[in-house]
Amino acid sequence: MTEMTIDPRALRDAFGAFPTGVTVVTTRDAEGRPIGFTANSFTSVSLDPPMLLVCLARTSRNFATMTGTHRFAVNVLSENQKDVSNTFARPVEDRFAAVSWSDAPSGAPVFDDVAAWFDCALDSVLEAGDHVILLGRITAFGNSGRNGLGYARGGYFTPRLAGRAVSAASEGQLDVGAVVERNGDILLIGDETLSLPACEVLDGDPATALIGHLEEVTGLSITVGFLYSVFEDKAGGRQHIVYRAFASDGVPRSGAFHAPASLGGRTFDTASTEDIVNRFALESSIGNFGVYVGDESAGRVHAISMKGA
């Protein structure tokens, strides 16, 4: 039997189909300085004795400290902590400047406003290919009842954002559109002036209406993913929902796929489209997608900076 050749990039994408929460694992180094990194490989392991695990890449700058420590904490991020997740995933000088935190009983940092936290004694470090498994024995924990932050296919999702989409769908006139991706490129309609594919939804489920519209416009098969943006165009009195979507191979009937980096200086139909395309360009460069909620001028973008490493 011939073995399948595994493409690591494709494998990572397939792993990304499994929705997870997001944690930040923390400890202190030999000088007592707090260190921490974002991890979605957290898994509960055992109730008796109480145990959990998290996988750490061998490439981590803090590999020696994390595997040599006796104590660590796992912070389960809440739905408003996307920026914390991004900070602890990037090579930021002082990651802890971005959060309010205090000491768990072990001295490992625990953040304010997390969904839950676990203080652990390091039980063992198990070899696991290009990662190690940190197996922790839980010595203390807290559970705030806040919703956890979700992560799947390189994007964050939150229960509250899904709720906003539902209420947007029930309030007034609704446009639903998509950032349609294929191999990192984005589908835009038009030659001189570029727009996102979108349609008006009069009734029914917005995502179902969107798939029908996108398949008709492109002639391709479309999968709709998580929400990308929910905003209100106050001037036009319309609600807008933008999803991420993924297109099959083939030449689209209308529009064309563009590399995000090639779109500088192009003209867009609205400032909102331009913002969304710029965000897509930035976020696709670090493989990490944020979520925008607000109106067309004063929304809250969970800003994500470029990953330097």
Ligand X SMILES: Cc1cc2nc3c(=O)[nH]c(=O)nc-3n(C[C@H](O)[C@H](O)[C@H](O)COP(=O)(O)O)c2cc1C
Q: Please report where in the chains the tokens 């003209």 appear, as a residue.
A: 267
3-state secondary structure 238-251: EEEEEEEEEECCCC
CB 55 within 8 A of CB 131: yes
In angstroms, give the least distance from the CB of 43 to ligand X: 10
Nearer to ligand X, 89 or 187 (CB): 89
Our finding on whether 226 is near ligand X (CB under 6 A) is no
Kindly tell me which residue out of 26, 27, 81, 85 binds ligand X, with binding defined by CB under 6 A: 85
In angstroms, give the least distance from the CB of 283 to ligand X: 11
- x/- letters, 19..58, toward ligand X (CB under 6 A): ---x--------------xxxxx-------------xxx-
Our finding on whether 84 is near ligand X (CB under 6 A) is no
CB 212 within 8 A of CB 219: no
> Which range binds ligand X by CB under 6 A, 59-67, 137-145, 268-276, 294-302?
59-67
Our finding on whether 151 is near ligand X (CB under 6 A) is yes
Nearer to ligand X, 56 or 189 (CB): 56
Q: List the one residue out of 231, 247, 227 whose CA is nearest residue 239.
A: 231
In angstroms, give the least distance from the CB of 305 to ligand X: 12
Q: List the one residue out of 70, 200, 188 whose CA is nearest residue 135.
A: 70
Instruction: Give dist(CA 281, CA 23) in Å, integer.
Output: 26
Instruction: Give dist(CA 191, CA 301) in Å, integer.
Output: 28
In angstroms, give the least distance from the CB of 39 to ligand X: 3
Nearer to ligand X, 60 or 285 (CB): 60
Nearer to ligand X, 39 or 222 (CB): 39
CB 91 within 8 A of CB 308: yes
Nearer to ligand X, 61 or 234 (CB): 61
Kindly tell me which residue out of 89, 176, 198, 224 binds ligand X, with binding defined by CB under 6 A: 89
Q: Residue 257 has which token pair?
A: 């796929």
In angstroms, give the least distance from the CB of 54 to ligand X: 6
Residues in region 108-147 near ligand X by CB under 6 A? none
Nearer to ligand X, 37 or 101 (CB): 37
In angstroms, give the least distance from the CB of 77 to ligand X: 9
Nearer to ligand X, 159 or 250 (CB): 159
In angstroms, give the least distance from the CB of 120 to ligand X: 15
238 pairs with which residues across the strands?
A: 173, 233
Our finding on whether 270 is near ligand X (CB under 6 A) is no
User: How big is the site for ligand X, counted in residues (CB under 6 A)?
Assistant: 16
Our finding on whether 61 is near ligand X (CB under 6 A) is yes
Nearer to ligand X, 251 or 306 (CB): 306
Nearer to ligand X, 157 or 243 (CB): 157
- The contact set with ligand X (CB under 6 A) reads 22, 37-41, 55-57, 60-62, 85, 89, 151, 288
